[in-house]
Amino acid sequence: MDFRRRNLIVLGALAAVSVAAAGTILSIRAQEGRSRFTPGEFLPGFAAHVKEATRIHMESRDGSFDVNYDPAKGIWVLPERGNYPADFERVRQTLIGLAAMQTVEPKTARPEWLAYIGLDAPPKGSGTTITVADKSGKTLAALIVGNSAELENAQGATGLFVRRPGDTQSYLARTVFPLRGKVADWLETGVMIIEPARLNSITITPLKGAAFTIARPNTSSREYKLEGPPAPKGRAVNPAIVNLVPQLITGFGFVDGQPASKLDFSKAVHLAAHTFDMQNIRIDATSVDNAVWVRVSAQPDPGTPTMQRQEAAMINARGADWAYKLSPDKGRLLMMTRDDLMTEAQAGGPDGLPPGMVLGPN
């Protein structure tokens, strides 16, 4: 065998052995590093004091807010929202999630790397600080929460990057419930639930222009139609927009809340919805700083079944004192006029096809 070729083979073999040896050493060191870290409670001792919690403070780029326990009412509330009721399930899941949080392994301790896993401190950073205190103001738990991460053998748990305030050492942790830092996730949202199958019609009275109604004749009909005169020449009713309007009732939701007394509803858009089982829903809407806020009430028809009368009483009890901020999309939908339900008529036939063309079965 050529001498140079033999040397290359020997050197190649030695290099392979060296690489394998280096890999083995690195693997051993990694195992040693892991063996020195023992997973455990991220918030040691908090589980024993979780029942003493009366205040949860959240701070993020979006702002800060408190969730406090009101002993007089026996509920959790949001003080900055006029003591609007908090979602008890969210409170429960957050406290249990923190008490049960377990470290999986340590991650970076370099301050300049924390932003990559969402652990740079708010308000400038993307992390969320959560502080839990008791009625005397004593801090029971404090942490900064970052990005979520996948876990091996998660078994229903959620992976999360976390660290303690004032400490740059980060960890990958395991939590049984996700942690939410936006106020919309903490609001009690069960104001009303109207199933899509029940809704019959909606009439909206805008600030300008005539009132208009969309309706369907029975529960088996899937499409709502705009009632009243036909569209002006050159215009056509847009069925896609028309069929979004029912979601103002059947998908009622909001992103913020405050006492209705803080808003002026003297000049409001009015929505009246009627259901096939003789329930009537009323919504008044006003625009403040480019945001749409609404009040909600219910009034059953005469002779309405007992279940619907009880439903109306519950809606009125929950919504009597409060105003709800809609998402931008739903706010724009509620503020539409009849003309906003129109679009430019397409050239051709009624289906937007050239005259005389008919769609076949295929």
- For the chain, the distance separating the N- and C-terminal CA atoms, rounded to the nearest angstrom, is 73
- Quote the pLDDT of residue 188: 95
Residues 155-212: tens digit of each pLDDT: 778 899 999 999 999 999 999 998 999 999 999 998 999 999 999 999 999 999 999 9
Write down the pLDDT at residue 24.
37
Q: b or e along 154-180 (b: 16 or more beta carbons within 10 Å of the residue's beta carbon)?
A: eeebbbbbbbeeeeeebbbbbbebebb
Q: Dump pLDDT digits (tens) for 22-70.
A: 333 333 343 444 457 888 999 999 999 999 999 999 999 989 999 999 9
Is 268's pLDDT higher than 70?
yes
Site of tokens 């589980």: 47
Q: 329, 298, 300, 336: which is closest to 211 by C-alpha?
A: 336
In SS3 terms, the chain reads as: CCHHHHHHHHHHHHHHHHHHHHHHHHHHHHHHHHHHCCCCECCCCHHHHHHHCCEEEEEECCEEEEEEEECCCCEEEEHHHCCEEECHHHHHHHHHHHHCCEEEEECCCCHHHHHHHCCCCCCCCCCEEEEEECCCCCEEEEEEEEEEECCCCCCCCEEEEEECCCCCCEEEEEECCCCCCCHHHHECCCCCCCCHHHEEEEEEECCCCCCEEEECCCCCCCCCEECCCCCCCCEEECHHHHCCCCHHHHCCCCCEEEEHHHCCCCCCEEEEEEECCCCEEEEEEEEECCEEEEEEEECCCCCCCHHHHHHHHHHHHHHCCEEEECCHHHHHHHCCCHHHHEEECCCCCCCCCCCCCCCCCC
CA atoms within 13 A on the CB side of 273: 25
Integer Cα distance of 124 and 179 in angstroms = 20
Q: Which pLDDT score, from 0 to 100, does residue 227 have?
A: 96
Arithmetic mean of pLDDT, 126-141: 97
- pLDDT at residue 347 tops 70: no
- Answer whether residue 244 shows pLDDT above 90: yes
* Burial (0-12, 13-18, 19+ Cβ within 10 Å), 343: middle
What pLDDT, in 10s, does the model give residues 65-96? 999 999 999 999 999 999 999 999 999 999 99
What pLDDT was estimated at residue 302? 87
Kindly report whether the peptide bond that precedes residue 111 is cis, defined as omega within 30 degrees of 0: no
Single out the residue of 52, 40, 173, 167 nearest to residue 111, CA to CA.
Answer: 167
Residue 7 in this model has a pLDDT that exceeds 80: no
Q: How far apart are CA 279 and CA 198, in angstroms?
A: 9
Distances (CA, A) of 122 to 107, 112, 215: 20, 15, 48
Q: What is the pLDDT of residue 358?
A: 36
Paired strand residues for 129? 59, 144
- Give the residue carrying structure tokens 């480019």: 290
Residue with the larger pLDDT of the pair 255 and 5: 255
Tens of pLDDT, residue by residue over 274-329, are 999 999 999 999 999 999 999 999 998 888 889 999 999 999 999 999 999 999 99
Q: Which token pair is 288?
A: 């403040």
The model's confidence at residue 141, banded by pLDDT at 50, 70 and 90, is very high
pTM beyond 0.75, yes or no: yes
Place of tokens 């309405």: 304
Q: Which residues contact 235 (CB under 8 A, 6 or more apart)?
A: 342, 343, 344, 345
> Once rounded to an integer, what is the mean pLDDT over residues 9-17?
37
Confidence (pLDDT) at 303: 85
pLDDT confidence of residue 156: 79
Mean pLDDT of the chain: 87
Stronger pLDDT, 278 or 361, i.e. the higher one: 278
